[in-house]
Structure 1
Amino acid sequence: MKAIIPVAGAGTKLRPHTYTQPKALMPMAGKTILAVIVDALLNEGIEEYIFIIGYLGDKIQDYVMRTYPGLRCTFVTQNDRRGTGHAIWLTKEAVKNDEVLIVFGDTICDFDVQSILKSKVSQIGIRRVDDPRSFGVAEVDDENNVLRVVEKPLIPKSNMAMVGVYKINETAQLFESLDTYLHNRADDDGEYHLTHALQTMIEKGIKFHAFKVNNWFDCGKKETLLETNATLLKSLAEKTSSPQFPDSVIIPPVNIGAGCKIENSIIGPSVSIGENTTVRSSIIQNSIIGSFAVLDEVVLKSSIIGSDAYIHGMSQSLNIGDNTDIDLG
């Protein structure tokens, strides 16, 4: 069993942060998005990984090699962003017809990994959504057999969105379908979607089963990134104790990195702060703060502040990238 994790996207919805940092390396709850995914799979016994890198891919490769020394992994580069189908097709030589678990690098969700890995039928993770038009959609029967999958349908016949988790047993047929698809015309948006190849496999009689996931977070935008951070902090709250700082109030759950200096401030709830950050005379809640930042006399709520940022003055909700200097006084 091999895990394929596509992390080649540019993360345009998380700019300005993704101008300097890959989306998969955005911090949350003391980790990165990528580390949350990899750690969960390592805990379930998956030992071999294929990372599809592209935009700022050298940073992802360096991070993986530094954080997981000795990890059995292969890096495949997608130079042109031509969609998820094209990205998975690039892994053909690395997969070598082994069964695979595909987990998109901006997706965090809870599911029974072991039952999915042991399944003799290929699996597609789904979750009910209010408006499925922005997602790949799975149409399923009463026994959760997948009848049809469609990418971003204008008139959806199902509200079950595909969450970006797939367990594929028939990888030879997957790559055969992708080969055919990539030699034909791309979809109207100019990309080759994995959904299309999966539908081809279904039409050829390959059986897929849909499994429902819990706490699905598509970490591709600010709001869901903050929501995921808050949820992960709550899950870790019983395992960690809140640190103490001079003349400051820490309201859990929080995660404060090593080397931080916090004075005369109120921090929390739902706040993650990176290493070696300084906070003075500030109030911060439901926010993510990068490493080596300096916050002086600010009030922040539902904000994301990049590493090496400097902010002085009063504010309410900010989305500030790395190496930024702002004086709101």
Structure 2
Amino acid sequence: MGVETAIVLAAGEGSRLRPLTKNRPKPMLPAATKPILEHVFDHLIDAGIGEIVVVVGYHRDRVQSYFGPTYRGLPITYVTQENQLGTGHALLAAESAVSSTALVINGDQIVDSRIIRDVVEKHDSDTVATLALLQRSGVAEYGGVIVDDGRVTNLVENPRDGHEYYLNAGVYAIEPTVFDAVRAVEPTAGEHHLGNGLSSLVDEGATVRGVVSDGLWVDATYPWDLLDVSFALFDSGHIDGDRSRDRARSTTVHDSAEIRTPVVVDQDCVVGPGAVVGPYACLGENATVGANAVVERSVVDADTRIEPNATAIECVTGTGVTIGAGSTVPGGPADVRVEDRLFEGEAIGALLADRVRDRGGVTYLPGAIVGPDAAVEPGATVRGTVPEGTEVWS
């Protein structure tokens, strides 16, 4: 059956990606050189969706100013979730904007258009909801689903009980009755969850189906995941790493610079003499790579300057960052603490949030995380987590 409208849930912060989400929501973080949410919109359009309703909340101005009222000729309707109280609460914020069968999708994960099409094509009016399912070895960080002959029998958030689950890919075709189910379920820890509403429908005997699909599905839960997301886009062919975006039109690459594919370079970038960019390097709009600098396996966001003789390996930057002359981000592996968890052996050299200023000759120990507006003075060594606005001296 036809599904014309998609509800995109894009209101959350993505707290585990701090400090990158200090100034923008997770859906607006870069996957290669454009926001995660832009990839979501592209796949929805490629799957035949004709109208987009976006639920915004945290730093909603960043979403609305970037996309405006249309995207690729499709109208965008914005609705606001004033307080981020769960996926079900976000869905209910969009209820007045839809009147029939709708597709629901997370705006902070990249989902291949094949997965979306599979859900739309398999959904029918006798089914209250159809879920996209993927076969993945570990689903403990996400939602797990058990099906029997295509019918969902159990949905479990963050399952750790040893059962075999399909991964809930966060793509749903729903009938209007789902709104009522979400509204009727008691909140958990003050939050309404879409999964709980669907579970209540399953318990009542309503038909909720699962469609096992294939295709690209990637999510950035922690800062180093932004590297993996971009690399997955290269490896899956979703980014043409041999024909960098807009480079021929508006980017200057010095004749003596070396571009090692795959790379993607956005518009208005400058790559200086003797610089080496790639493999697996992403340069956002108006980025500069100075003479003899090296950028490898990194996501460099817009308006970032990597000055002469600097090295950035497995580095993630926010916008407006300066990595000074002769500074070194040597790459991982690293042990990184996020909130109260320690992650061992992660492949990240450093994360530099928006407007970090490195004055040159700085060494970043693997796993260093530097908060927004920090200043790192010449010759300093950076380790661990540096809070926002801090000055780091040698």
**What TM-score, normalized to structure 2?**
0.76
Q: 1:162 to 1:112 in 2, by over 3 A?
A: closer
1:261 to 260, 266, 270: 270
The whole-number CA distance in structure 2 between the counterparts of 1:88 and 1:140 is: 24
Corresponding residue number in structure 2 for 1:248: 257
The whole-number CA distance in structure 1 between the counterparts of 2:54 and 2:198 is: 20
* Pairing 1:197-276 to 2, within 5 Å after superposition: 197-207=197-207, 208-234=209-235, 235=237, 236-237=239-240, 240=243, 244-263=253-272, 264-276=274-286
Amino acid at match of 2:257: S
Q: Which runs of 4+ in 1 moved over 6 A?
A: none
1:90 to 84, 93, 99: 93
Q: 1:218 to 1:66 in 2, by over 3 A?
A: same
- Is 2:108 aligned against 1:99? no
Corresponding residue number in structure 1 for 2:81: 78
Q: 1:91 to 1:293 in 2, by over 3 A?
A: same
The whole-number CA distance in structure 1 between the counterparts of 2:230 and 2:102 is: 28
* Residues 261-307 of structure 1 deviation map (CA, whole Å, 9 limit, x = unaligned): 11221111111101221111221111111111111222222211111
Amino acid at match of 1:35: E
* Residues 50-97 of structure 1 deviation map (CA, whole Å, 9 limit, x = unaligned): 11111100110111217727532221111111111111111111112x
- Is 2:292 aligned against 1:278? no
Amino acid at match of 1:212: S
Are the counterparts in 1 of residues 30 and 226 from structure 2 also a CA contact under 8 Å? no
* Pairing 1:98-137 to 2, within 5 Å after superposition: 98-110=100-112, 111-119=114-122, 120=124, 121=127, 122-137=129-144
Corresponding residue number in structure 1 for 2:358: 326
Are the counterparts in 2 of residues 151 and 196 from structure 1 also a CA contact under 8 Å? no
* Residues 186-241 of structure 1 deviation map (CA, whole Å, 9 limit, x = unaligned): 21x43221111001112233221232333321123223321121122341337726
2:310 to 294, 298, 302: 298
1:175 to 179, 183, 203: 179
**Relative contact order: is structure 1 or structure 2 higher (C-alpha 8 Å, sep ≥ 6)?**
1
Amino acid at match of 1:123: T
Corresponding residue number in structure 1 for 2:169: 163
Identity %: 27
Alignment length (residue pairs): 321
Deviates more, 1:82-91 or 1:291-300: 291-300
1:21 CA displacement: 2.2
Comparing both structures, which one devotes a greater share of its residues to helix? 1
The whole-number CA distance in structure 2 between the counterparts of 1:175 and 1:160 is: 24
The whole-number CA distance in structure 1 between the counterparts of 2:165 and 2:118 is: 24
- Is 2:313 aligned against 1:310? no
Are the counterparts in 2 of residues 137 and 156 from structure 1 also a CA contact under 8 Å? no
* Stretches of structure 2 lacking an aligned partner (at least 5 in a row): 331-348, 363-378, 380-394
1:113 CA displacement: 3.2
- Is 2:18 aligned against 1:15? yes
1:129 CA displacement: 3.5
Superposition CA RMSD, Å: 2.1
1:315 CA displacement: 1.9
1:131 CA displacement: 3.7
Deviates more, 1:230-239 or 1:40-49: 230-239
